């Protein structure tokens, strides 16, 4: 009688709801035997924690869906699909839920198209749910290269125009998988080298990281500080060469290296890969936004990148780079499609990549070029079985990240847009077999089997231990943000970025961030800027400002940064960096990385950048 009374008094929306629907794959084939969980949004919200640099495997609050189900799945409202993929839940209690599907076969992956946004029980009951889950790449699938993918998926041809496809380029040659039209200035540094350039490496500082030398196109006033010179020139056959010469010991024979490839260019910097035997090594960095007038050595046009690999300060002699530091062993896994690292009898390694007739270069000597940049299969998995399968079965043979839970789709990006160490204790997140992750695995499986250090070290963050300082840590930030664990929507990279580059918007965004309408943020948020700023900073802003000006501060630096910020005490300038924090918070002047810190060494925040032009930074 009492229970009936409670039901009678409850509002209509709070009544238990009948929810039904079907689960299929992309080929509209029924997925039978799958468990459909209603994961309470309130339980996911309880996983929220304050961000720190301490990211660990085997914890119970890192994966919103998988961790929630592991802890309480047996208590969640659920149903199992029948032979036609249909399911029915007779009485779902009132509340908000994420709908998470766990198939019981080896052809599909957990998640589903309703996984990442919560809905009320009433919304879920309004009409039958049509849920699609991702396929799974079979264990015998191999990489076939993006050109084969494009034969059927030619509507994704703009992928060739993305920054991902320009990462590695053979000097003087654009591959059939590359289109540089969106980055007209990406090879400005290369052109300077091809025209002939002599650089002086001097002022050696053993306490620094990769940039132990100062670099200048002009000889420094004190020639005694110069260790060696690096002269770039175009040879008679049209190839680019590097000649190193020992300034301190002219009798030391000069060394000449082919400059084989460029490394980067679309996003603020470019490095150069020199050939030494069977390996290549990065040397020298060109900062597209750099200026010689800047006092900070890291913000000039030319920056040293491991000149210490080419000169032995102790012996005062030129040398070749150490074999264990090659690009192929240290860096290539995050660029090559289908990367492999195979041990040799002599104790070394040979790197491989997917064969593709339009690839950048034949690196394994089999007569077929290899795809040396991020390709379709990097995110969708090896495609051989998908390519030859009958039409209706194709979807179950390939991964569709859009149908995964955010924690599983984002880890595909996370493996390279973070700073782990792999099983070989290098910066490559590879497993003991020398392979990158297979798309669709759980985030924890990745952390356990592909990393020896899960993410960035403490030195890669500002003194607050929260905000990233080193570059390519966007996903390091995102997994620690409120956008990743909350009760409404579990954000993943593709919610804001278009991996296929169809939109043609800078940084592969799905909408403009600074168009006067905050279109990107407005896809989820509705905010009156005057009211918001009046509430948060005590003053309604009438000037056009964008959400990202405050909530996506560029705390990280990859190139020279974006110039000087406001002037601080003593006339010293703050700096603006060039890689965006993805914590989505607004760091204040009281932050440990800013307060009491010399302006030139402080963490960039809104109040030392754009806001500071109107506000006194020290008071914000």
How far the first Cα of the chain sits from its last, in Å, is 59
- Round to whole Å and give the CA distance between 378 and 353: 11
State whether 185 and 316 are in the same domain.
yes
- Is 386 within the bounds of a domain? no
pLDDT digits (tens, 9 = 90+) for 357-394: 999 999 999 999 999 999 999 999 999 999 999 999 99
What's the CATH number where 49 sits? 2.60.40.1120
Whether residues 197 and 306 share a domain: the answer is yes
Least confident of 15-24, 48-57, 369-378: 48-57
Mean pLDDT of 407-435: 96
> Domain check: are 181 and 313 in the same one?
yes
Rg of the chain (C-alpha set): 27
169 forms bridges with which residues in the sheet? Answer: 262
Q: Do 428 and 318 belong to one domain?
A: no
Phi, psi dihedral angles at 350 (to 5 degrees)? -125, 125
Is the predicted pLDDT of residue 256 greater than 50, yes or no? yes
pLDDT digits over 487-505, tens only?
A: 999 999 999 999 999 999 9
Do 91 and 176 belong together in one domain?
A: no
pLDDT at 9 over 60: no
Mean pLDDT for the stretch of residues 66-95: 97
pLDDT > 60? residue 395: yes
Residue where a domain stops, chosen among 269, 299, 322: 322
Instruction: Please state, in angstroms and rounded to a whole number, the distance separating the CA atoms of residues 68 and 55.
Output: 18
Domain closes at, from 271, 290, 322? 322
- Tell me, what's the pLDDT at 3? 32
The residue-averaged pLDDT of 3-17 equals 45
Question: Mean pLDDT over all residues of the chain?
Answer: 94
Domain membership of residue 276 (yes or no) is: yes
Q: Is residue 339 part of a domain?
A: no
Considering the domain architecture, whether residues 186 and 127 belong to the same structural domain is answered as no
The answer to whether residue 410 sits within a structural domain is yes
Q: What is the rounded average pLDDT of the residues 420-425?
A: 94
Residue 620: inside a domain: no
The domain boundary, picked from 322, 346, 373, lies at 322
Higher local confidence (pLDDT), 313 or 529: 313
Does a structural domain hold residue 239? yes
8: pLDDT strictly greater than 70: no
DSSP-assigned letters across all residues of 296-323: SGGGSSEE-SSGGGTEETTTTEE-PPPG
Structure confidence at residue 144 (pLDDT): 98
Segment 152-169 mean pLDDT: 97
Asked if the model's pLDDT at residue 480 lies above 70, the reply is yes
Total domains present in the chain:
2
Whether pLDDT at 283 is above 90: yes
> 455, 476 in Cβ contact below 8 A?
yes
Domain that holds residue 263: 169-322
Q: What is the band of 616 on the pLDDT scale with cuts at 50, 70, 90?
A: low
Quote the pLDDT of residue 31.
98
Q: Is the pLDDT of residue 615 over 70?
A: no
Same domain for 213 and 105? no
Average confidence (pLDDT) over 155-173: 97
- Asked if residue 177 and residue 118 are part of one domain, the reply reads no
Same domain membership, residue 173 and residue 125: no
Mean pLDDT of 452-462: 95
Mean pLDDT over residues 455-463, rounded?
A: 95
What percentage of the chain exceeds 90 in pLDDT?
87
Reference 409, options 484, 506, 487; nearest CA is: 484
Confidence of residue 53 (pLDDT cuts 50, 70, 90): confident
pLDDT of 473: 96
| 68-85 mean pLDDT | 97
Same domain, 88 and 45: yes
Residue 50, C-beta contacts closer than 8 angstroms, at least 6 positions apart: none
Q: What percent of the chain has pLDDT over 70?
A: 97
What's the average model confidence in pLDDT over 26-34?
97
Label residue 313 by pLDDT band (50, 70, 90): very high
Question: Which residues does residue 52 pair with via DSSP β-bridges, in sequence order?
Answer: none
* Count of beta carbons in the 10 Å neighbourhood of residue 393: 16
Are 121 and 231 in the same domain? Answer: no
Q: Is residue 492 part of a domain?
A: no
Is the pLDDT at 2 greater than 50? The verdict is no
Q: Which helix (H) or strand (E) holds 260?
A: strand 255-264
Q: What is the mean pLDDT of residues 108-130?
A: 98
**Rounded Cα gap, residues 470 and 461, in angstroms:** 7
Q: What is the pLDDT averaged over residues 186-208?
A: 98
Domain presence at residue 301 = yes
Instruction: Compute the distance between CA of residue 412 and CA of residue 280 in angstroms, rounded to an integer.
Output: 26
128 and 52: one domain? yes
> Which candidate, 28, 9, 21, places its Cα nearest to that of 119?
21
d(CA 427, CA 437): 14
The better pLDDT of the pair 535, 25 is held by 25
């Amino acid at each position: 009688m009492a229970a009936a009374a409670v039901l009678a008094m409850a509002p209509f929306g709070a009544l238990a709801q009948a929810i039904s629907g079907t689960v299929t794959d992309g080929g509209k084939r029924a997925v039978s035997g799958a468990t459909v969980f209603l994961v309470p949004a309130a339980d996911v919200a309880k996983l929220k924690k304050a961000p720190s640099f301490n990211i660990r495997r085997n914890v119970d609050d890192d994966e919103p869906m998988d961790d929630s189900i592991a802890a309480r799945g047996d208590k969640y409202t659920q149903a199992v699909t029948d032979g036609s993929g249909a399911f029915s839940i007779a009485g779902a209690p009132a509340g908000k839920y994420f709908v998470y599907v766990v198939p019981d076969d080896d052809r599909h992956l957990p998640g589903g198209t309703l996984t990442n946004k919560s809905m009320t029980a009433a919304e879920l009951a309004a009409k039958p749910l049509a849920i699609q889950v991702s396929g799974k790449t079979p264990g015998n699938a191999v990489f076939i290269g993006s050109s084969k993918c494009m034969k059927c998926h030619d509507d994704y041809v703009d992928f060739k125009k993305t920054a991902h496809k320009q990462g590695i380029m053979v000097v003087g040659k654009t591959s059939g998988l590359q289109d540089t039209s969106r980055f007209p200035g990406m090879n400005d540094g290369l052109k300077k080298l091809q025209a002939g350039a002599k650089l002086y490496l001097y002022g050696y500082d053993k306490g620094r990281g990769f940039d132990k030398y100062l670099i200048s196109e002009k000889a420094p006033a004190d020639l005694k500080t110069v260790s060696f010179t690096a002269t770039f020139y175009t040879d008679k056959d049209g190839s680019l060469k590097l000649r190193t010469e020992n300034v301190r010991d002219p009798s030391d024979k000069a060394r000449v290296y082919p400059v084989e490839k460029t490394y980067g260019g679309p996003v603020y910097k470019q490095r150069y890969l020199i050939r030494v035997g069977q390996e290549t090594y990065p040397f020298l960095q060109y900062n597209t936004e750099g200026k010689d007038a800047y006092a900070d050595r890291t913000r000039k046009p030319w920056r040293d990148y491991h000149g210490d690999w080419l000169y032995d300060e102790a012996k005062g002699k030129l040398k070749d780079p150490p074999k264990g530091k090659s690009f192929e062993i240290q860096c290539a896994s995050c660029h090559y499609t289908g990367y492999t690292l195979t041990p040799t009898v002599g104790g070394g390694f040979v790197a491989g990549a997917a064969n593709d007739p339009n690839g950048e270069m034949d690196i394994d000597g089999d007569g077929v070029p290899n795809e040396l940049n991020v390709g379709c299969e990097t995110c969708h998995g090896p495609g051989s079985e998908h390519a030859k399968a009958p039409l209706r079965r194709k979807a179950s043979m390939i991964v569709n990240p859009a149908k995964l839970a955010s924690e599983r789709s984002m880890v595909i990006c996370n493996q390279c847009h973070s700073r782990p160490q792999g099983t070989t204790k290098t910066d490559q997140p590879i497993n003991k077999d020398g392979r990158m992750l297979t798309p669709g695995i759980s985030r924890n499986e990745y952390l356990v089997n592909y990393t020896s250090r899960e993410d960035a070290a403490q030195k890669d963050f500002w003194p607050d231990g929260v905000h990233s300082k080193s570059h390519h840590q966007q996903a390091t930030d995102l997994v620690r943000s409120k956008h990743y664990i909350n009760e409404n929507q579990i954000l993943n990279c593709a919610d804001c970025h278009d991996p296929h580059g169809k939109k043609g918007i800078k940084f592969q965004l799905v909408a403009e961030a600074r168009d006067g309408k905050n279109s990107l943020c407005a896809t989820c948020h509705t905010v009156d800027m005057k009211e918001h700023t009046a509430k948060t900073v005590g003053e309604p802003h009438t000037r056009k400002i964008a959400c990202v000006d405050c909530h996506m501060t560029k705390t990280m630096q990859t190139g020279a940064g974006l110039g000087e910020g406001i002037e601080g005490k003593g006339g010293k300038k703050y700096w603006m960096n060039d890689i965006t924090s993805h914590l989505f918070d607004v760091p204040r002047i009281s932050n440990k990385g800013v307060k009491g810190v010399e302006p030139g060494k402080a963490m960039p925040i809104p109040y030392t950048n754009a806001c500071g032009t109107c506000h006194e930074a020290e008071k914000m």
